[in-house]
Amino acid sequence: MGTSGFQHLFRTLAQLPLSADEIACLRDWLAALEAPGRCLALIEQAKGRCACPHCGNARCHRSGHANGLQRYRCIACRHSFNALTGTQLARLRHRDKWLPYFQCLIESRTVRAAAERVAVAKSTSFRWRHRFVAAVRREEPPTLKGIVEADETYVLESQKGSRHLDRPPRKRGGKATCRGISKQHECVLVARDRGDTTHAFHAGQGEPDAGRLLRFLKPVLAGDALLVSDGAAAYPAFAKLAGISHRAINVRAGEYARGAIHVNGVNGWHSRFKTWLRSFCGVASRYLANYAGWQMVLDAAALIIPEHWLRAAVAPRQQERP
């Protein structure tokens, strides 16, 4: 559009008695025009010049553009790639709607509400939720230091969305067929230090043993950390295997704190997680790790705007979360 044409359009809009809803609609339309370029610029900026995702070689050269993104060709393996190759966001369409959808994740909107907000199908909204969250949860929190609280919470195993159940279906609001913690419960293992740094893991079914604790907790604990847990027998065995100090609180005997030795911080995280999880009216067990990671990002309040989430989803990582 030429300058004169733009000025004529601007004068016409200035003379119209627009309502608040019409102004909001116009603002959303202008934002939609800007969104694709802003999203592409953020992707390129976050990824930078990285190694080939196919062979790991750092030597590559520019090889044209496709769909708005710079493509590169690896000198070693001759494969081409762009900033999204090898990420959870690869091959996803409608990039102009990614930032509004990240805002829906920040607001913990349901699949249907998010689909209506960004004008995509419910199936697309569901797919994006788990692709985006899986990408962002790769953002590793720092190592846990000092006094580290560890405890697990349990949610009922769910095969929601499965085409073939390996057990009789439960009625709405059902419960396990046996008392106590069993293989019908999914374990969410949480470790949190006094600086509020948190790691949350989907640690399988039933109560974890020392081997499972070693797999999940050992990589995230500093060597001089003091592990505090309840009276579960697996924690002393794990502490011995990992070579770290350990203190236990006998909650069953009514002991909830012994000076600075308590698990109140991690129990508070459990409470917030379960309250938040209920808003989704049941989640499938196979996605539980994503929901734990989603809540971990929200609770940390480190990624507070959509641009932060997009950068975290695209930026290269050294390792993935278990």
Largest CA distance in the chain: 81
Task: Enumerate long-range contacts of 311-314, CB under 8 Å, 24 or more apart.
Answer: 311/42, 311/45, 311/46, 312/135, 312/136, 312/138, 312/139, 313/87, 313/88, 313/89, 313/132, 313/135, 313/136, 314/42, 314/43, 314/46, 314/47, 314/83, 314/84, 314/87, 314/89, 314/135
Q: Is the pTM of this model over 0.85?
A: no
Q: Are residues 51 and 68 in the same domain?
A: yes
- What CATH number is attached to the domain comprising 237? 3.30.420.10
Residues 109 and 238 in one domain: no
Q: Looking at residue 32, what is its pLDDT?
A: 61
The confidence band for 1, taking pLDDT boundaries of 50, 70 and 90, is low
H-helix or E-strand spanning residue 80: strand 80-81
Q: Please say whether the beta carbons of 185 and 191 come within 8 A.
A: no
Residue 172 included in any domain: no
Q: CA neighbours within 13 Å on the CB side: how many for 195? A: 9
- Check pLDDT > 90 for residue 31: no
How many residues are listed for the chain in this entry?
322
Co-location of 156 and 95 in the same domain: no
Q: Within this chain, do residues 259 and 115 fall inside the same structural domain, yes or no? A: no
List all residues 6 or more positions away from 11 whose beta carbon is below 8 Å from its beta carbon.
none
Q: Which of 37-46, 101-110, 119-128 has the lowest mean pLDDT?
A: 37-46
* Domain membership flag for residue 12: no
Q: How far apart are CA 35 and CA 246, in angstroms?
A: 51
Are 308 and 234 found together in one domain? no
Q: How many domains does the chain have?
A: 2
Does 283 reside within a domain?
yes
Residue 319 in this model has a pLDDT that exceeds 70: no
94 by Cβ neighbours in 10 Å (0-12 / 13-18 / 19+) ranks as middle
Decide if 252 contacts 231 (C-beta within 8 A).
yes
Q: What percent of the chain has pLDDT over 70?
A: 93
Report which of 51, 36, 47, 96 is spatially closest to residue 70, judged by C-alpha positions.
47
**Helix (H/G/I), strand (E/B), else coil: 282:** coil
Is pLDDT at 202 greater than 90 in this prediction? yes
Segment (H or E) for 66 = strand 60-66
3-state secondary structure of 247: strand
Residue-number span of the structural domain to which 131 is assigned: 39-139+303-322
What single string gives the DSSP state of each residue in 138-207? TSPPPPB-SEEEEEEEEEE---TT-SS-SSPPPPTT---SSSSS-TTEEEEEEEEETT--EEEEEEEESS
Report yes or no on 55 lying in a domain.
yes
Rounded to an integer, the average pLDDT of 291-307 is: 92
The pLDDT tens digits for 178-188 are: 888 999 999 99
Straight-line distance from the first to the last Cα atom of the chain, in angstroms, rounded to the nearest whole number: 52
Are both 131 and 197 inside the same structural domain? no
Q: Is residue 83 part of a domain?
A: yes
In a domain, residue 85? The reply is: yes
Do 152 and 250 lie in a common domain? yes
Please list the residues that pair with 156 across neighbouring strands.
185
Residues 133 and 47 in one domain: yes
Q: Are residues 312 and 271 in the same domain?
A: no
Q: Give yes or no: residues 86 and 226 share one domain.
A: no
